[in-house]
A and B are shown apart, each in its own frame.
Chain A
Amino acid sequence: MIKGRFINHQASDHVVQGHELAERLPALIADSKRVASSIQHGVHGRHKNGPGENFWQFRPFTAGEPANLIDWRRSGRDHKLYVREREWEAARTFWFWVDLSPSMFYVSDLATAAKIDRAIVITLALAHSLVEAGERVGLIGLTPPIASRQVMDRFAENFVLSGKEGKAPDLLSAPLPRRNEVILVSDFLIPVEEMDKTLSRLSSQGAKGHLLIIRDPVEETLPFEGQAILFEQEKQISLQVGDIAVWRQNYLEALAAFKKALEQTAQNYYWQTIEHHTDRPASEAALTMLTRFGTSGSLSGDNP
């Protein structure tokens, strides 16, 4: 019999929940470092010349340019003057937001980690990787963008703080600079209309971004049988079902419709969705995200 449970004892008490999260954070950080090291792919260039440290190309010297641009070593090989151009390395800013609602604390027998753990691990790993790559990362409503190597610790502290408050900062109230990338990590078990409102607000601030949907496998498959009472703590809902096997069909249909609507909503604002199930390794989602950053980054560079 598969069982699902909430990892905290009193899931309704958000403060306790936060404390417990704080207790687990060192382990999560260690986990994140492992994930980060496995997805490290270095500084990602912009594939154009600009201010940066890496060599991009030599180009013939045009009159009028400052002479200190001339690369004398290269120019010495033949009788022309060359200018060494470097690749443009502009730091981008990534804003993370991690959902701390009680449903994120759910873990089932089929999963390898609770949703919240997985969300934090991926967030920290991504943040670390991005900082390593020279980007700046921040937590919406909690920290300004930072590029410090201690980004994991800094984020962790903030998770602890907000965890102790019992909920994540309000997405809608926090101001966002334009043209930043936003990564929302949640199970997105909220009505699509609310989501639409949030995305509309964020997009109106000029943010582009990604929805990292974290789900427990149980939520996807409902692998139960027989008579049962399903309950949900956050809103204190319970539902008595005569036969889950019969009910499952309806549920799976509804879930598919919901996922489609969510994806459509994101698409409307040019946001991307990535779905991650907690029975899969964290590095999988993190790597996908990083690849997406690369492509979307270049896109954002092109299309203001």
Chain B
Amino acid sequence: MSALPLIFSAPFVLLALLALPVIWFLLRTVPPEPQRIAFPPLRIFSKIPEKQPVAARTPWWLLVIRMLICGLLVLACAGPVWKPAQTTPGNGPVLILIDNGFSSAKAWEERVSQLEQTVREALQSNRLLAVLPLGNPVREIELQNPDRVLASLETIQPLPYAIDRSAQLPAIKEFLTQNTNATVIWLSDNLTLNGSDDFPQKLAELNPSASLILLRQRTTETLALTAPDTKESNLSVRIIRATPDAPETGRILASDGRGNLITDMPFTFTKDAATASVTFDIPNDLRNRISRLAIINEKSAGAVYLLDSSHNRPTIGIFSGGSAEQARTLLSPVYYIKNALLPFADIRDNGNIDELLSQKLDALVVADIGELDSQTTRQLKDFITQGGLLIRFAGNRLSAGNDDLLPVKLRYGDRNLGGALSWSEPRKIAAFAKESPFSSLTINDDIKIKRQVLAEPTPTLYEQTWAALEDGTPLVTAAKNGKGMIVLYHVTATPAWSDLPLSGLFVEMLRKTIQFAKTSDKSISDNNSASLPPRLLLDASGNFVQPGATAPYLKIPNSNRASAESPPGFYGPEETGIAQNTLLPTDNLYTFKNIPASFEQRQIGGSDTRDLRAPVLLAALLLFLIDTLLMLRMSGTPLRINRRLFKNSLPTLLAVSLATGMWGVPKAQTSEREPAALETRLAYIITNNPSLDATSKAGLTGLGQFLSLNTAFEPAPPSAVDPEKDELAFYPLIYWPISSTQQTLSNKAIKNLNAYMKNGGTVLFDTRDALRSLGTMQQTEETSALRNILSQFDVPALEPVPTDHVLTKTFYLLKSFPGRYDNSPLWAEASEARDANDDTPVRASDGVSPVLVTGNDFAAAWAIGERNETLFPVSGSDPRQREMAFRAGANIVLYTLTGNYKADQVHVKDLLERMEREHMQ
């Protein structure tokens, strides 16, 4: 290559530079043509002096600029590259080794482009090629044509686990003996999990004559995540790095099984430290939901740690003696135990003891079981000897007779403290002994033990006692049995015998107890040769992928690192499955040390390599701009920026951009009506009859005023709504005056109103024809219009409001619902018929009638003018009719707002009576 570190990817284009002299000639001989302007006054004004010289020819500097532009364009097309990647030495076949473990995933693209570059180079020099991803299964290495390799580059992918490079050495050795003049290129991530990995040395020893090139990144920035430690109550993880080049700080994301983010924690490496640790100090139930930890921006399977259920919760079965107890929750021991354990364990509490034991439990809680049948006893014994934890609670049955699955021998019967026939007082719990697992717990003084089962005093009793009462009688005893343990609480798990189950101490004691439950490897002991199907696997970038058809099953037990046979991911069913992680808790990252001198070390990508096309093009563009400006200047166009124009156009521009900005924002409410959602308000349907609409508005205003004065509901000014266009959901009540000219509704309006009524809204139809319909059997036009409308709706059966309807009681006690007229009943949804002997003062009915119908012209009675004067006379003889109309309105509005709340309240008397009766008993 030339001395200058500059090459062209398309050097033939440079031939175009030969055309430059031609361009020079053309530019020189054809100066820019001035415009010709016919101008008659010239004949007397030809003597006016001319200040500027006329360019007869293109000035030399302009020529230079233009030639430069042309030259730069040609150069850019030729694709100049500064400091191109170094070429492969030698002329024999090329063997490319690629690290494709998890640690190479982060900079994989770079690696692949480097690989591609090398392959293309081999293609140009017609060298045969072999590409060997070091993590792939060992196989004979075959030389291929570079173009075939190029076509199959896509198939080389990083693997989500650590690779064993040394496994490939025999194959490489064989290759090198066959091709002695080969060049070996090792595209390395320079990371290993083994501090004494001597792969480079061995590689160098294989064939000292082969030329070796080690290509690697400039810095090793990979971080990895290992070893969540759940022994403590808090989850802590270790972050490892190979060199201090890796980022000093970062964050760890914790997410649950569905990918929901739970929390994130920052971590910081102290200077030059290879590990850092982070503790997730979060509530237990949140912690237990975490199933995936990942370092942000670290795209590698090694930066992800998966947590399976063995990391957090033991699985605990609860079995209780009496099935009848299940019915009354608060009396069931299962309830107390379950709630105490729920934050720390997965609970199985359905099924009989056989079914429970088949579910791979870590611990079994048995509440108040006296004697078990012999088969169950045998099963339980097996469970315990295999490491299971049995927790038993005393109870009436246990005191009546027991089996031998107890830590201590019990006396028959129980001890009653502080009962009617006892002299003694209920006892408190004595301070925990130092050896007790409960020693760190503090005891509340108010916990009293009223009954307990007593242990036969034996020499070992004291050692077996975890907790005792003040008088030394044991409260919790435990005994090892095989690999497992039996723990007995000498009280019930219900508050019947003691206050213990009601206290926080109970929860803590149980938690301490279940620490003795076997954790993890639970499935291992059951069947040693089991294998679990993959559920979710990690790819090399640390993302979850669905396992392919050929994904291997995980053999258990398995305490190895992830490998080709056990790629990282979740295996087995979601609840009891286990997680295979890329790294072991004890793993550390190392870089290769002592790389033999026979390696020529290079950097991947050769970050010095610069594609010069962009700068060259930019320079050409700049020159072009300068040229344009000069041309403008030469042709006399003034270059000054027209300030006034700028000043004038700036506001316009701003306005235009603002306007376009506004255009993009959808308007919340297209109509000019006030936004309804901000305050509660009544509404009326626009009938397009101006006087009717005005009356509706005045009426609802008047009613609103009445409501504000007399009730807690202060409605905003009423809205006019068009059922076709407006959103109705904001209004509790929509008043709809029907006129004879009522138009038919569009489908959209019907749909809207139907949805409104179905979702709890109420429409008050007012035919306003009570006076006219008086004494005639004939239907008024309004009534027929109303029927016409209602026929299109999903309307329930209606009935005139009965005297015991909740509408008559929601605020005022009313007998009728007068408006401007008082002779029309108010119709509401028919409620169910009542029992004849039901003497409650109101019918209980659920929900609010979606439709109310009247003919009394409510709005006219409510209508008030600007000076609060009433606008319409009322018809009846009752001087209080208007007041009653307002009261009717108030009842209706409160009915729509509160529903059957008043109907519930009327039962208060009965409820009180019933409670009294029970109290008496």
Contacts and interface: CB of A to CB of B under 8 A. Distances in A.
Interface of A: 1, 3-6, 102-103, 106, 187, 189-191, 216, 218-219, 222, 224-235, 237-247, 250-251, 254-255, 258
Contacts of A4: 37-39
Interface in B37-90: 37-46, 48-55
Given A227-B54, A242-B53, A251-B48, A237 B36 contact: no
A254 B635 contact: no
B43 A235 contact: yes
A227 B48 contact: no
Contacts of B44: 189-191, 258
Given A6-B38, A229-B36, A235-B43, A245 B638 contact: yes
Contacts of B37: 3-4, 224, 228-231, 244
Contacts of A189: 40-41, 43-44
Nearest to B46: A237
Nearest to A216: B40
A250 B39 contact: no
B156 interface: no
B550 to A, nearest CB: 74
Contacts of A232: 38-43, 46
Contacts of B50: 239-242, 247
Contact of A237 (B32, B43, B53): B43
B39 A227 contact: no
A232 B42 CA distance: 6
Contacts of B35: 1, 224, 226-229
A294 to B, nearest CB: 32
Interface residues of B, number: 27
Contacts of B43: 103, 189, 232, 234-235, 237
A92 B207 CA distance: 128
B775 interface: no
B631 to A, nearest CB: 10
B45 A255 contact: yes
B283 interface: no
Given A189-B44, A242-B51, A218 B39 contact: yes
Q: Which residue among B36, B41, B636 has the maximum number of chain A CB atoms within 10 Å of its CB?
A: B41
A224 B53 CA distance: 18
B38 A5 contact: yes
Contacts of B635: 225-227, 243
Contacts of A237: 42-43, 46
A225 B46 contact: no
9 contacts: A5-B38, A222-B39, A226-B34, A227-B54, A229-B36, A230-B37, A231-B39, A234-B40, A254-B48
B637 A106 contact: no
Q: Which residue among A239, A250, A258 has the maximum number of chain B CB atoms within 10 Å of its CB?
A: A239
Interface in B16-48: 32, 34-46, 48
B694 interface: no
Given A225-B637, A237-B46, A230 B39 contact: yes
A194 to B, nearest CB: 10
B634 interface: yes
B645 to A, nearest CB: 16
A242 B55 CA distance: 8
B70 to A, nearest CB: 24
A231 B42 contact: yes
Sorted nearest first, the 7 A-B pairs with minimum C-beta distance are A243-B636, A242-B52, A103-B40, A226-B635, A232-B42, A227-B34, A226-B636
A74 B55 CA distance: 87
A225 B636 contact: yes
Contacts of A247: 48, 50-51
Contacts of B638: 245
Contacts of A219: 39-41
Given A227-B34, A228-B34, A246 B39 contact: no
Nearest to B42: A232
Nearest to B32: A227
Contacts of A233: 38
B48 A228 contact: no
B593 to A, nearest CB: 74
Interface of B: 32, 34-46, 48-55, 634-638
Contacts of A3: 37
Q: Which residue among A190, A222, A234, A247 has the maximum number of chain B CB atoms within 10 Å of its CB?
A: A247
B249 to A, nearest CB: 62
Nearest to B56: A240
B636 A250 contact: no
Contacts of B41: 189, 219, 232, 251, 255
Nearest to A244: B636
A226 B42 contact: no
Contacts of B634: 227
A230 B43 CA distance: 10
A232 B38 CA distance: 6
Nearest to A235: B43
Nearest to B41: A219
A45 to B, nearest CB: 42
A78 B483 CA distance: 160
B338 to A, nearest CB: 92
A106 B34 contact: no
Contacts of A225: 635-637
A135 B206 CA distance: 127
Nearest to A230: B39
B47 to A, nearest CB: 8
A240 B637 CA distance: 16
B661 to A, nearest CB: 37
A252 B39 CA distance: 14
Contacts of A239: 42, 46, 50
A246 B52 contact: yes
B191 to A, nearest CB: 68
A187 B36 contact: no
A185 B32 CA distance: 41
A106 B48 contact: no
A232 B41 CA distance: 8
A245 B38 contact: no
A187 B44 CA distance: 12
B40 A246 contact: no
Given A4-B38, A231-B42, 12 more contacts: A102-B40, A222-B39, A225-B637, A230-B39, A230-B42, A231-B36, A232-B39, A238-B42, A240-B50, A241-B50, A251-B45, A258-B44
Given A229-B34, A244-B636, A245-B636, A250 B40 contact: no
Contacts of B53: 242
B636 A242 contact: yes
A14 to B, nearest CB: 15
Contacts of B46: 232, 237, 239
A226 B49 CA distance: 16
A63 to B, nearest CB: 67
Contact of B38 (A106, A227, A235): A106
A240 B56 CA distance: 10
Contacts of A218: 39
Contact of A187 (B34, B39, B40, B55): B40
A231 B42 CA distance: 7
A254 B32 CA distance: 29
Q: Which residue among A1, A230, A245 has the maximum number of chain B CB atoms within 10 Å of its CB?
A: A230
Nearest to B35: A228
B51 A246 contact: yes
A11 to B, nearest CB: 9
B45 A254 contact: yes
Nearest to A107: B38
A227 B36 contact: no
A59 to B, nearest CB: 57
B610 to A, nearest CB: 42
A161 B825 CA distance: 106
Contacts of A241: 50, 52, 54
A74 B567 CA distance: 135
Contacts of B45: 251, 254-255, 258
A144 to B, nearest CB: 32
Nearest to B52: A242
